[in-house]
Amino acid sequence: MFSKACEYGIKASIFIAINSYNDNRVSPKEISAEINSPQAFTAKILQALVKHNIVNSVKGAYGGFEINKEDIAKIKLSQIVTAIDGDQLLHGCGLGFKVCDEEHPCSLHDQFVFIRNDLRNMLENTTLELLAKDIKSGVSFLKL
Amino acid sequence: MFSKACEYGIKASIFIAINSYNDNRVSPKEISAEINSPQAFTAKILQALVKHNIVNSVKGAYGGFEINKEDIAKIKLSQIVTAIDGDQLLHGCGLGFKVCDEEHPCSLHDQFVFIRNDLRNMLENTTLELLAKDIKSGVSFLKL
DNA sequence: TTTATTTCGGATAAATTTATCCTTTTTATG
DNA sequence: CATAAAAAGGATAAATTTATCCGAAATAAA
Ligand code: FES
Ligand code: FES
């Protein structure tokens, strides 16, 4: 479904969000330890999230990654997925055609569009705030 | 969503099914020409489908690939997807945990299970017969 | 039985994704 | 300003997926 990079990106964003609520910046080292991911690879993914203005980075001593507190509730999972994996999953044809075309549908189109639209709606209606709350309350987990 | 191999496998199965209705066996060459896929790679995927008893192969002159006519309505898309991509997509955790565990859910679990279950239901309720009918009637397409 | 045809299967290569390492740049603080 | 801390970015490597090639095995038909 999602690439490894995207899985790490989602988990990393949640962890950064949780820490940002406490005005605490985190490093790739802390992040990868928390979400159980390779550190250098995770750092690369963070660069992509920074470029897409999802995560903010502060260089130098006492720096690290953070997310503006007031943005956490506005950031949708769809933004993270699109930033890392592109928009093929959210808009592409299920059987690999260049575009999903209603006028020239693939064999699976009628069945696939419902699934894809439900997935897209889920990703667009799920915010970092929502996911971070579940972690903080102990309902869900970032590793193991 | 699906791997390239799986996309080819689905399209190939549909094309074989259509031809099998006319008692016509098809070769990897014909298949890859029809579904616009690399021939040798497609042949490898067909071997996997044969091993999983989804497609039947006949060696030698006048041989080729076919599907028992009475089986076409029984073969579900989920069988093809599982044979080629495994069962991670249908049963795995959306954030990459080894297993999807209700007792120890990942952050996305609550939102993800609905999508994944809908996808699985769709794949389990979609038969090759259904897909082949749409192609034959000109509603949908296998290439371009 | 010989021949032509066709799938099977192994080896290999190309492309992409995943992952690591190391140097440069930036910046807060002493 | 000097220093240490931290992200940025380039080069490279490992793993996986995608793709190609070729000889072996099987089989129908002449
Ligand atoms: S054309 Fe394939 S999903 Fe729409
Ligand atoms: S634990 Fe991740 S989807 Fe269920």
A11-21, pLDDT tens digit by residue?
Answer: 999 999 999 99
Is residue A139's beta carbon less than 7 angstroms from any atom in nucleic acid strand C? no
A40 has pLDDT over 90: yes
Asked whether the predicted pLDDT for residue A109 surpasses 80, the reply is yes
| Smallest Cα distance from A26 to chain B, Å | 19
List of chain B residues whose C-beta atoms are within 8 Å of the C-beta of residue A99:
none
Calpha distance A26→B74 (Å, rounded): 53
In a domain, A87, yes or no: yes
- The percent of residues in chain A predicted with pLDDT above 70, rounded, is 100
- Mean predicted lDDT score pLDDT of chain A: 96
Q: Which residues of A touch B5 (CB under 8 A)?
A: none
Domain of residue B27, residue span? 4-137
Q: B93 alpha carbon to ligand 2 midpoint, in Å? A: 4
Q: Which amino acid is at A81?
A: V
Residue range A62-100, pLDDT digits in tens: 999 999 999 999 999 999 999 999 999 999 999 999 999
Rounded to a whole number of angstroms, the distance from the CA of A121 to the nearest CA of chain B is 10
Residue B142 lies in a domain: no
- Residue B108: pLDDT band (50, 70, 90) is very high
pLDDT value at residue A71: 96
Residue B40 lies in a domain: yes
Which of B94, B91, B92 lies closest to B109 in space, CA to CA?
A: B94
Does the C-beta of B63 come within 7 A of strand D? yes
CA pair distance A41, A20, nearest whole angstrom: 22
CATH of the domain at A87: 1.10.10.10
Predicted confidence at residue A98, as pLDDT, reads 94
Which pLDDT score is estimated for B59?
A: 94
Query: Is A95's CB within 8 Å of B10's CB?
Result: yes
Q: How far apart are CA A96 and CA A106, in angstroms?
A: 9
Taking alpha carbons only, the member of A62, A60, A61, A77 closest to residue A17 is: A77
Reported as a single tens digit per residue, the pLDDT across B34-58 is: 999 999 999 999 999 999 999 999 9
Give the angle A126-A131-A134 at the CA atoms, nearest 5°: 135
SS3 B87: coil
Tens-place pLDDT, residues B109-132: 999 999 999 999 999 999 999 999
Q: Is residue A46 scored above 90 in pLDDT?
A: yes
Residues 6+ apart with CB under 8 A from B18: B132, B135, B136
Write out the residues of chain A at the interface with chain B, using a CB-CB cutoff of 8 A: 1-2, 4, 7, 10-11, 14, 77, 89, 92, 94-97, 104-112, 114-116, 118-119, 122, 126, 131, 134-135, 139-142, 144
- Let me know if residue B100 belongs to a domain: yes
Q: Is the pLDDT at A136 greater than 90, yes or no?
A: no
- Are the beta carbons of A92 and B2 closer than 8 angstroms? no
Q: What is the pLDDT of residue A95?
A: 97
Question: Buried b / exposed e across A79-107, counting CB within 10 Å, b at 16+?
Answer: bbbbbbbeeebbebbbbbbeebeeeebbb
CA distance, residue A51 to nearest chain B CA (Å): 23
Q: Residue A143 has what pLDDT?
A: 86
Q: What is the mean pLDDT of residues A1-18?
A: 98
**pLDDT over 80 at B144, yes or no:** no
> pLDDT category, A53, cuts 50, 70, 90?
very high
**Within a domain: A144:** no
Does residue B59 lie within any of the structural domains?
Answer: yes
Cβ < 7 Å from strand D, B residues 97-136: none
Under 8 Å between Cβ of A132 and A16: no
| Nucleotide minimizing C1' to CA distance for residue B8 | D18
Indicate the pLDDT class of residue B107, thresholds 50, 70 and 90: very high
Residue B136: per-residue pLDDT: 86
Instruction: List, for residues B48-100, the tens digit of each pLDDT value.
Output: 999 999 999 999 999 999 999 999 999 999 999 999 999 999 999 999 999 99
Cβ neighbours of residue A35 closer than 8 Å, sequence gap 6 or more: A8, A11, A12, A15, A42, A142, A143
Would you state the pLDDT for residue A113?
A: 98
Q: Is residue B95 part of a domain?
A: yes
Report how far residue B121's alpha carbon sits from residue A123's, in angstroms, rounded to the nearest whole number: 20
pLDDT value, residue B143:
86
Q: Is residue A142 part of a domain?
A: no
pLDDT attached to residue A144: 76
Q: What local confidence, expressed as pLDDT, does residue B125 receive?
A: 98
Count of structural domains within chain B: 1
Residue A41: exposure state from Cβ atoms within 10 A (0-12, 13-18, ≥19): middle
A129 neighbors A122 (Cβ within 8 angstroms): no
